[in-house]
A and B are shown apart, each in its own frame.
Chain A
């Protein structure tokens, strides 16, 4: 029973991880709290849905179409919208308004085009299950975990060993210094947005093959990503991933102790307390307490 909860929480955390990592990555590199991400998530899902159901394309093709369109959207928003705001030297607050309004715009747009009924990518989301040890494992579970694992490993390798990846890290640490070394911070910003778009598309694929999605769902999901980012420590993409897993496990287990209706409250309360007591994230808070820093 416990193992089942652990397993289910971990597999559910798969899309949360992807959304959290996307959000954390953009925040790390561009310093923007990208509330436009729900807009990209929604776009990805509906493009996938439309290609699969209206164009009757096989899933690899639908996924590719969704990827291309989402990447284009992320690129365009960064270049034209964020670019303009940066030129106007707008404050973080203006970025917040724009990104939130953008996501709302996208939500309304797709409501107009697709209506308010929630649906999944495929009409039939039945996934065969196999018992492994004492746990029930579904094909969806395996797909979710595999895709997430590959993407995370790929991202890690990219950031660590590839030239553009290391440029991203350089810009996120000190963009002016990076410029002195000939690294274009604008390209880094765009790249981080594009990467986020890719991760989100896959995240929506995983999500949309299990849960029915509606146009405003992404806006509520993003809060989880924000919570994970804050708890993992702003600037640390992979600990945001860990925080996402942790939060998912917390949600899974809290069902045992508290009624499910209070789960969200717990999440928000935790989130509020974390951000006002440990704005640098949980890990650095622990380090501080251990006295390694002042």
Chain B
């Protein structure tokens, strides 16, 4: 089975700080991999490397067996890599549905040519896109609030919108950065259900999480990072039984 995302010997330093130390990692379709470790271990940096916000000092990142080091952030997203953010980063001056629409992998409205010279095509296309967005909002239980300004929402619901927005990409790789941090129980359940559905649909999912229960609940396997290195990989149960890791984590 071809892996979706593969990192080979990826290294990244910021000044004196090593955030990625000879990283070898694979994300396969249908997997839900937990990325765990103490703060500052380099977990979000890994996401930044995969999504292209940061370029590695050395090493190669592959997407469906093709190297993507040279591709910019938006190009990688168009290949099918999508992510959520630790601090959500919704577009605060827009409504829920607008946040989702702009997240579609292909967005014809981005072309000024289409806007100016093919308005009817664009209108039809936007209609279809809106259907898709509303469907996603139904899955996260926010369909009836599609028109609300996101800045009005409490934290947990903003996270749901963020998740739905990432799913608009409909891509093969989904990176979730601490999706569960600070959410209420019902949001937690909704997210868990959605993530499971996405994995079943064949996406490669990687989740950064501190909530061990979520990791145990959902992830097939986990990767433990510390000081930019991957210290351990394996099933969640095995990692949790490892005394050394527990010490590093809870120190």
Chain A residues with CB under 8 Å of chain B are: 293-294
Q: Give B1-33 interface residues, CB cut-off 8 Å to A.
A: 13-15
Q: How far is the CB of B207 from chain A (nearest CB, A)?
A: 29
Q: How far is the CB of A75 from chain B (nearest CB, A)?
A: 37
Q: How far is the CB of A255 from chain B (nearest CB, A)?
A: 43
Ranked nearest first, the 4 interchain pairs of A and B with the lowest CB-CB distance are A294-B15, A294-B14, A293-B15, A294-B13
Q: How far is the CB of B139 from chain A (nearest CB, A)?
A: 38
Which residues of chain B are near A294, meaning CB under 8 Å? Answer: 13-15
Q: Quick one: closest A residue to B57, CB to CB? A: A294
Q: How far is the CB of A160 from chain B (nearest CB, A)?
A: 28
Q: Quick one: closest B residue to A292, CB to CB? A: B15
Which residues of chain A are near B13, meaning CB under 8 Å? Answer: 294
Q: Quick one: closest B residue to A293, CB to CB? A: B15
Name 4 interchain pairs, CB-CB below 8 A, sorted by A: A293-B15, A294-B13, A294-B14, A294-B15
Chain B residues with CB under 8 Å of chain A are: 13-15
Bound CA span A293–B13, Å: 11
Q: How far is the CB of B54 from chain A (nearest CB, A)?
A: 11
Bound CA span A157–B13, Å: 39
Bound CA span A293–B14, Å: 9
Which residues of chain A are near B14, meaning CB under 8 Å? Answer: 294
Q: Quick one: closest B residue to A294, CB to CB? A: B15
Which residues of chain B are near A293, meaning CB under 8 Å? Answer: 15
Q: How far is the CB of B56 from chain A (nearest CB, A)?
A: 13
Q: Quick one: closest A residue to B14, CB to CB? A: A294
Q: How far is the CB of A190 from chain B (nearest CB, A)?
A: 34
Bound CA span A185–B13, Å: 35
Bound CA span A145–B109, Å: 61
Bound CA span A86–B15, Å: 34
Bound CA span A294–B14, Å: 6
Bound CA span A140–B185, Å: 78
Bound CA span A294–B13, Å: 8
Bound CA span A188–B14, Å: 33
Q: How far is the CB of A289 from chain B (nearest CB, A)?
A: 15
Q: How far is the CB of A243 from chain B (nearest CB, A)?
A: 26
Q: How far is the CB of A288 from chain B (nearest CB, A)?
A: 11
Bound CA span A12–B15, Å: 41
Q: How far is the CB of B6 from chain A (nearest CB, A)?
A: 26
Q: How far is the CB of B126 from chain A (nearest CB, A)?
A: 32
Q: How far is the CB of A235 from chain B (nearest CB, A)?
A: 18
Which residues of chain A are near B15, meaning CB under 8 Å? Answer: 293-294
Q: How far is the CB of A194 from chain B (nearest CB, A)?
A: 37
Bound CA span A44–B14, Å: 48
Bound CA span A293–B17, Å: 11
Q: How far is the CB of A247 from chain B (nearest CB, A)?
A: 31
Bound CA span A90–B13, Å: 36
Q: How far is the CB of A107 from chain B (nearest CB, A)?
A: 37
Q: Quick one: closest A residue to B12, CB to CB? A: A294
Bound CA span A294–B57, Å: 11
Q: How far is the CB of A290 from chain B (nearest CB, A)?
A: 14
Q: How far is the CB of A110 from chain B (nearest CB, A)?
A: 42
Bound CA span A293–B16, Å: 8
Bound CA span A252–B113, Å: 50
Q: How far is the CB of A280 from chain B (nearest CB, A)?
A: 14
Q: How far is the CB of A129 from chain B (nearest CB, A)?
A: 54
Q: Quick one: closest A residue to B13, CB to CB? A: A294
Q: How far is the CB of A274 from chain B (nearest CB, A)?
A: 23
Q: How far is the CB of B81 from chain A (nearest CB, A)?
A: 25
Q: How far is the CB of A267 from chain B (nearest CB, A)?
A: 34
Q: How far is the CB of B107 from chain A (nearest CB, A)?
A: 29
Q: How far is the CB of B240 from chain A (nearest CB, A)?
A: 36
Q: How far is the CB of B31 from chain A (nearest CB, A)?
A: 33
Bound CA span A129–B13, Å: 60
Q: Quick one: closest A residue to B16, CB to CB? A: A294
